[in-house]
Chain A
Amino acid sequence: MSQKAIVLYMHVHQPFRVRHYTIFDAANNHDYFEASHDSRTSNEKILHKVAEKSYIPTNKKLLELLERHPEFKLSLSITGTVLEQFERYAPHVLQSFQELTATGRVEIVGETYHHSLAFFYSLAEFEVQVDMHREIVQRLFGQTPQVFRNTELSYNNDLAYWADRAGYKGILTEGWDPILDWRSPNFVYRPTYTNNIRLLMKNYRLSDDIAFRFGDRDWQGWPLTADKFAHWLNESGDATNFNLFMDYETFGEHQWAESGIFDFLGDLPGQWLGSGDHTFMTVSETIDSFDAVGRIDVPETITWADNERDLSAWLGNPMQQQAVQALYSLQDPIIKSHDLALIEDWRKLQTSDHLYYMCTKWFNDGDIHAYFSPYETPYEAFTNFMNAWHDLRFRLADKGLIV
């Protein structure tokens, strides 16, 4: 029996949320992201809250695990927007991530700095944001990303082709059944129309057992222990790599400490490594260690989100489409302005979360989308965003760049 690896990959992200920004702010204040501290949209307040509940305790636990188990490894993607907020509001949190990467067993995955959907609207802008992200990762962690993930694990053949040409050795996406068909996500694959790059696909059942179902007392798997989970992996049959991909904030934020999630995390490496030929691998190491078992063809964009596994949570309603079109329609004059503050504000508005807050799919159910939104309604999110857009237009008009 060959070696089997858990490939734990976690995504760290916070957007710069737009404050309550009215048409009377437009042309007067350009501080879209600077809510007062008592506001629901205060980025500083939210960052501190998530740091307390998730980043600080999770990093502490991960560092302990790295020290205790030489075979324990993981991969992280950390967006530029959250790194910027760490530097501004919580340098000690940034330092705790740097302590993880200093072990040499934590790999940083590449992506867009702004957690944007730029790939689908402007390749030039997308490439700039990927470069910006690479630079900040080099500066803060001394690594150059070898593996790429696009926002929300959005993926299609074009993206794989681009990443292959850009020199990445691997790319990540969802292990979605209609794509895999009879095949298992627990192997390395090769994207169709590419030469060198490899594809790792999320095992969403196992990942979501941790990320979504862990604290659900109505779930038949509850309570989930590391012992039980390791047993499930053992029972999974032929496999080389179990791709456990999830939001980092699963630990302590989506699943609260009271659910026992930190105990689970603390116990998992010991349980997994204690039996059989088991190990942990980073994403690069997985690609280096195992041959691709087949080709994967994804003509239509998939993501890791919702039951639809598409972009409909970001682009599904007319408000979202209007907002994104309005934003990218300003690209030429914004770039030509050479005004770095203006360009950066425009980029921060590209963060996909702004569109997510406008999602009306399940607005009435008060579900996961509502939980993650700092706005009362999707309409409020849209109005704030469009007012900020009007101000961008004002700033361009003020420079004589558009009429």
Chain B
Amino acid sequence: MKVLMLGWELPPHNSGGLGVACYQLCKTLSKKDVDLEFVLPYTADHKIDFMRINSAHPQDVETVLKAGIAYDSFKYIKKTGEVTWVDLFGQSAIYEKAVERIVEYTEYDVIHAHDWLTFRAALRAKQKTNAPLVLHVHSVESDRAGMEKGGNPMVREIEYTSMMLADQVIAVSNHTKKAIIREYAIPADKIIVVHNSLDTLDVQPLDPDNTYNYLSKMKSQGYKVIVNVGRLTVQKGLPNLLRAAKEVVARAPKTLFLIVGSGEQERELLLQAAELGISRNVIFTGFLRGKKWRDAFAIGDLFVMPSVSEPFGLTPLEAIGYGTPVLISKQSGVSEVIKNCLKVDFWDTDEMANQMTAVVQNDGLRDALHQNSLHEYHQLSWNDAADKLVALYKHHLAVATV
């Protein structure tokens, strides 16, 4: 079975969970006799052997580079050596054209597209080939905007139209399925939930020495560390975490908060911490990769993901794997998957503070939470998700050939 996968990023050039989820899902699918071709909007060597990688860019262009993080612009280096920059919508349109060309030369049984940036291309491919179209929704615009019915109307239009026209919509959680229905009134029976997972073999192990010497020292003096890792953007709910942090520090002054990541809220959050009078307790590291990123999970006594709306949320699973129990918002997909963790409504800062204080004041609670969540962690696998997808592909193929 030949599947055309349309995606926006893959590790190590990913800005977040989308790339990781696509990579691990495809890897598992490839072991189930699915022949995959993955189209990316940029040029790079991914060192991937289980599927073909194709870069979608115009013929006169030599290289397309992703700039910065998340939803930034793209740098085009033409064969003439000329350099130009293209914004996200421009890139999405270029991607659509390139995919249109790709489907002219090869036949595919199924088209499977991940998130709105590829949806126009996916519709074009379906129009050209009439192959079944599966749209995989890792997040909707209202998640990213941090507000119901919010976000960019052009993006909303693309999401709405594509999902209406698709043969199948996959949501990464019930939380996301509800959001799709709420935002776009897509018929519920067209949406199947396939939870994300984590390939624990894919997780880079920790080194024996943690790079946060300062925090290690303070921990030896009785301090506790609460960690958040993610983009500093409205969707992630960090202002609520800081408000709760003030309450924790008032009761447990030896609590330090480590905030890892960058984003448009960075300055606002720095100022907010100062206004709350907790600058001594809140450390902002900026954007990190590699060892410093992994060690941030490990140095924590508790990992907190306070997202306003998190379609799935991979970081809590990574935190557990790196030895840290988690507190996650109930408005997250991952909270449907993991049982041994603390859960709180993203807006309930009192309860968030209450639970954080309980953990930093009680090592027994911390250790029990982690031990039990680690057991769940070791059960994680993409197998079920891949099986569901294969069945789905077969079903649509059968329908299409009737």
**Residues on A facing B (Cβ under 8 Å):** 22-24, 26-28, 317-319, 321-323, 326, 377, 379, 382-383, 386-387, 389-391, 393-394, 397-398, 402-403
Contact = CB atoms under 8 A, between A and B. Distances in A.
Interface string B198-221: 000000000000011110111001
B181 interface: no
Interface string B274-305: 11010110011110000010000000000000
B186 interface: no
B214 A383 contact: no
Given A382-B270, A403-B221, A322 B211 contact: no
B378 interface: no
B212 A23 contact: yes
A24 B267 CA distance: 20
B270 A322 contact: no
Contact of A24 (B212, B270, B284): B212
Nearest to B272: A318
A358 to B, nearest CB: 9
B345 interface: no
Nearest to A402: B221
Contacts of A393: 218
State the majority secondary structure of interface residues on B.
Answer: helix
Contacts of A27: 213-214, 216-217
B35 interface: no
Interface of B: 211-214, 216-218, 221-222, 266-267, 270-271, 273-275, 277, 279-280, 283-286, 292
Given A23-B283, A24-B211, A322-B279, A383 B270 contact: yes
A379 B267 contact: yes
Closest CB pairs A-B (n = 6): A318-B274, A322-B279, A27-B214, A27-B213, A26-B214, A319-B274
A326 B279 contact: yes
A319 B218 contact: no
Contacts of A24: 211-213, 292
26 contacts: A22-B285, A23-B214, A23-B285, A24-B213, A26-B214, A317-B271, A319-B274, A319-B279, A322-B274, A322-B279, A326-B280, A379-B266, A379-B267, A379-B271, A382-B274, A382-B279, A383-B270, A386-B283, A389-B280, A390-B214, A393-B218, A394-B214, A397-B221, A398-B217, A402-B221, A403-B222
A383 to B, nearest CB: 6
A380 B26 CA distance: 41
A394 B274 contact: no
Contacts of A387: 283
Given A22-B285, A379-B267, A387-B283, 13 more contacts: A24-B213, A27-B214, A27-B216, A28-B213, A317-B271, A319-B279, A326-B280, A379-B270, A383-B286, A394-B214, A394-B218, A397-B217, A397-B221
A317 B285 CA distance: 21
Nearest to B270: A379
Contacts of B221: 397, 402-403
Contacts of A317: 271, 274
A321 B274 CA distance: 8
Given A23-B212, A26-B213, A318 B275 contact: yes
Contacts of A22: 285
Nearest to A387: B283
Contact of B280 (A26, A322, A379, A394): A322
A386 B221 CA distance: 19
B266 A394 contact: no
A326 B274 CA distance: 11
A394 B256 CA distance: 13
Nearest to A400: B221
Contacts of B217: 27, 394, 397-398
Contacts of B271: 317-319, 379
Residue from the set B213, B214, B273 with the largest chain A CB neighbour count within 10 Å: B214
